Amino acid sequence: MINGADIPGMMPEELSDLVANEGFPAYRGVQLFEWMHRKGVFDPGRMTSLPADLKARLAAGGPLLPLTVGRVLASSDGTRKLEMRLADGAVVETVLIPEGRKLTQCISTQVGCSIGCIFCRSGAFGFSRNLTAAEILAQVFAARDAWRDGEELTNVVFMGIGEPLHNYENTLRAWRLLTCDKGLDLSLRRVTISTAGVVSGIDRLGRDTQGQAALAVSLHGADEAVRQRLVPHLKHTVRDIVEALGRYPLPPRRRFTIEYVLVGGVNDSDADARQLVRVLSGLRVKVNLLPLNPHDRSDLQPPLPERVERFRRVLVDKGMSVFLRRRRGDDISAACGQLLGEQ
């Protein structure tokens, strides 16, 4: 029996096996994959190269997209936030961020989040459940209707709601599907998996992808006490995380991304900057500095602009590659740390 909701999360060879078990030639599975992943078609009736009886069986299995799009909010800077309503009524959010004609999409991997970073809205309802690989991928497919003329999806970041490495198997499968040459065929460099520092997941990802998965680590504090204050429910130490990065089989000319949210009066001092340099010494990294995006679930505030610049300068003077992330979509609560799904 074909279950439509599972199909977007299946690899080409799995779809070939599925249709073969239904009595059709295996190559029909690859055609089905290409209709969805390459052409963005999820209505079996429009899959003109498939035989009528296979299209009928697909239609009988229910919708091929396991979610529907709710509200679409547009920011004054061009960023768009889309609500994705799942079959059980839960809602997650995904964000489209344009740079000229190029689009980056930020996707969610869980309903809620158990990490509990104190500056982030996403854990406000706690953790509910993991998304399936099909639900993760469906965010990309369903968002196509919100693309504007001439836009092209070039980057996907697993940085929405949830901790991707706490949903490891589905995250890895979604990564494989996004980079599959029979589908979207996104560059390995342009699909980034983010983690708050789940050491076991970092090790597994290194082994399972031979280090090809682009990895971003949300560190937020180089001092142990500061890190534990900001990320209270993840007990891996800064040293644990750095050692895991040291074990990761990073390919030549590739770097880790270190995400560092600057919180006023908490982790933004010159001493914090110098400690960050010491901790990351010996690793190939680029540091993304993100001044805190305020929201209604926290009283924390970003540093003053001059403090941000001073922190950045300390890192640059020590030879580090540093990028100051521009705030995008904060007028629609779409900026980093502002997403809020509902159970």
pLDDT at 34 over 90: yes
Residue of 93, 135, 163, 259 with catalytic role: 93
pLDDT in tens, 210-268: 999 999 999 999 999 999 999 988 889 999 999 999 999 999 999 999 999 999 999 99
- Average per-residue pLDDT in the chain? 93
Strands 191-195 and 214-218: parallel
- Range list for CATH 3.20.20.70 in the chain: 67-332
The answer as to CATH 1.10.645.10 being correct for domain 4-60 is no
Residue count of the chain, please give it: 343
Distance of alpha carbon 297 from alpha carbon 306, whole angstroms: 25
Active-site annotation holds for 106:
no
- Range list for CATH 1.10.150.530 in the chain: 4-60
| Amino acid 332: pLDDT | 66
Active-site annotation holds for 163:
no
341 CB contacts (<8 Å, ≥6 apart)? 90, 91, 92, 93, 108, 111, 112, 122, 125, 161
pLDDT at 21 over 70: yes
DSSP state of 96: E
> Considering only the top CATH level, what class is 67-332?
alpha beta
- What Å distances lie between residue 170 and 58, 64, 256, CA to CA? 23, 17, 22
User: What is the separation of C-alpha 323 from the centre of its chain, rounded to a whole number of angstroms?
Assistant: 19
pLDDT band with cut points at 50, 70 and 90 for residue 1: confident
Phi, psi at 286, each rounded to 5°: -120, 145
Distance of alpha carbon 228 from alpha carbon 219, whole angstroms: 10
SS3 state of residue 52: helix
| Amino acid 342: pLDDT | 57
| Amino acid 325: pLDDT | 83
Q: What angle do CA 117, 141, 55 make, to 5 degrees?
A: 140
Q: What is the DSSP string of 150-198?
A: T-EEEEEEE-SSS-GGGGHHHHHHHHHHHT-TTTT---GGGEEEEES--
Q: Are 65 and 8 in contact (CB under 8 A)?
A: yes
The secondary structure element, H or E, covering residue 29 is: helix 27-37
Distance of alpha carbon 60 from alpha carbon 82, whole angstroms: 28
Residues 157-162 have a mean pLDDT of 95
The secondary structure element, H or E, covering residue 311 is: helix 305-317
pLDDT band with cut points at 50, 70 and 90 for residue 204: very high
Residues 289-310 have a mean pLDDT of 88
- The strand pairing partners of 244, in sequence order, are none
Distance of alpha carbon 52 from alpha carbon 28, whole angstroms: 12
Location of structure tokens 């992330």 = 325
Distance of alpha carbon 246 from alpha carbon 227, whole angstroms: 19
DSSP state of 148: P
